[in-house]
Structure 1
Amino acid sequence: MATTHEIQVQRREDEGKGASRRLRHAGNVPAIVYGGDLKPVSITLSHNDVWLASQHDWFYSSILSLSLNGDVQKVLLRDMQRHPFKQQIMHLDFQRVNDKEAIRTAVPLHFLNQDSSPAGKAADVVVTHELNEVVVECLPGDLPEFIEIDLAELAVGDVIHLSQLKLPKGVEIPELKLGKEHDVAVVTAKHGRVEAEPEAEGEASAEVPATKASKDEE
């Protein structure tokens, strides 16, 4: 079952860039909630609360409960605008979810036991995470915060594809319905590049350039 996280919000009446700037100067983040049968609503959140939440995977892939004076709406984060160089969140978009309607969203991948695997222990092997997240489809109540991939048995030459991921009950990867060519690699374990050995000192070249040969014949 999906874990929900409650965040306190306030409704805002003022609109426009000026009002948003005032909110940010006061330590808040303007946001909007849309979707479902209700009209879009403009809200504001504490920047400190949002910033702390944004450091966790669950903020991006879990069902969030926005609480407005006890009125709770379940939502997903759909967009986040950050300041280009300051550690500041500028705006958030939330989409309402219905417990009975399937949603489609990206969830992070967590890789376990890589260092203790045969491939992880080998000095000349490179383990590559081709994907760090995957788009899933499920009911809101089945949404996982992340999907674990156990690499304990990963050996040299192994490739783990999307179809090999162990998904929670009720969760699907819609990409796999589009054909075998969409069953892309998630993890690969390959030998690193082997550099060519330098020529032994004093070893004669196999070929002599024509210009050199002509001078020798003079």
Structure 2
Amino acid sequence: MSLPISIRNLINHFSSLPGLGQKTSERLVFYLLKQDKNFLASFAENLLRIKDNVKNCALCGSLTEQNLCSICNDSRRDHLAICVVAELSDIQSLEKSREFNGVYHVLNGYLSPTEGINPENLRIKELLERINNNRIKEIILALNPTIEGETTVLYLTKLLKRYNIKITKLARGLPQGSDLEYADEVTLANAMKGRTQV
């Protein structure tokens, strides 16, 4: 059966999203077709609203609707311990472990000279500004154990050695080449507890 063009277009949009294949996209579209107009209007409005209302935290780069995210704005957090992550989704994964009570810094990627991603393309300058403007005690490098992750850890370790701060990275327990986003809470909690100095 040949599907109408509007259905095919929506399936193509969904399947262009990370983690959604053709079959899942088809199921989503057929589910949406069964919903009433109010649901669809609310769904569409929320999609547009995130683009208008959500921005990056001025301090850590996470997501917020304010100037600062809820973590950076929380006085109960340890603002002298910064956990450096590559992606926004890594914060969510680490927060689920309930092991870290400091603040975060999102790099927005990894160093990868082969892909043309150099230090200037990441939020490294902003990290150094945070260190220079505060009495940071510890930097935790919570980067994926991949080639790009290890390259970024080595670069940051060299760069941060001139500061009188403790530099640690997550303990192994995360398989080589894996993503923090997909690790379970217990593994992440153990990796955070057993972090090692670099």
The TM-score with structure 1 as length reference comes to: 0.21
Larger proportion of helix: 2
Larger proportion of strand: 1
